[in-house]
């Protein structure tokens, strides 16, 4: 049985993500996947997607430019609630 709820694990991942990126850099943050892994004493694996607003726009297309979503997988320790890793997920 997990110590953390999925919501608390997601809150920890969001706080971690926002602490790394500049304010306003993350747009349209979406929780994509949630998984509980019983291995290693229990951990949450959460996948978030978002648009990174800090990506350079070399041609200055502004609103005409379509930005790809970035996907990140967070590993949250179930006992401590700490983010253990954040990895790029390719889709």
In this prediction, residue 27 carries a pLDDT of: 93
At a CB cut-off of 8 Å and minimum separation 6, what does 88 contact?
A: 70, 71, 72, 73
In this prediction, residue 71 carries a pLDDT of: 97
- Average pLDDT of the chain is 89
Percent of the chain beyond pLDDT 90?
69
User: What is the Rg, in whole angstroms, of the alpha carbon atoms belonging to the chain?
Assistant: 15
- pTM of the prediction? 0.85
In the block, which residue shows the tokens 């997990």? 2
Average pLDDT over residues 4-22: 96
In the block, which residue shows the tokens 């954040």? 86
């Amino acid at each position: 049985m997990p110590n953390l709820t999925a919501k608390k694990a997601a809150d920890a991942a969001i706080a971690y993500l926002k602490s790394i990126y500049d304010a306003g850099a993350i747009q349209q943050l979406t929780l994509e996947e949630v998984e509980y892994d019983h291995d290693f004493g229990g951990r949450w694996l959460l996948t978030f997607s978002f648009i990174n607003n800090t990506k350079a726009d070399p041609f200055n297309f502004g609103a005409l430019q379509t930005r790809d979503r970035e996907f990140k997988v967070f590993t949250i320790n179930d006992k401590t609630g700490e983010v253990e890793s954040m990895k790029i997920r390719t889709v």
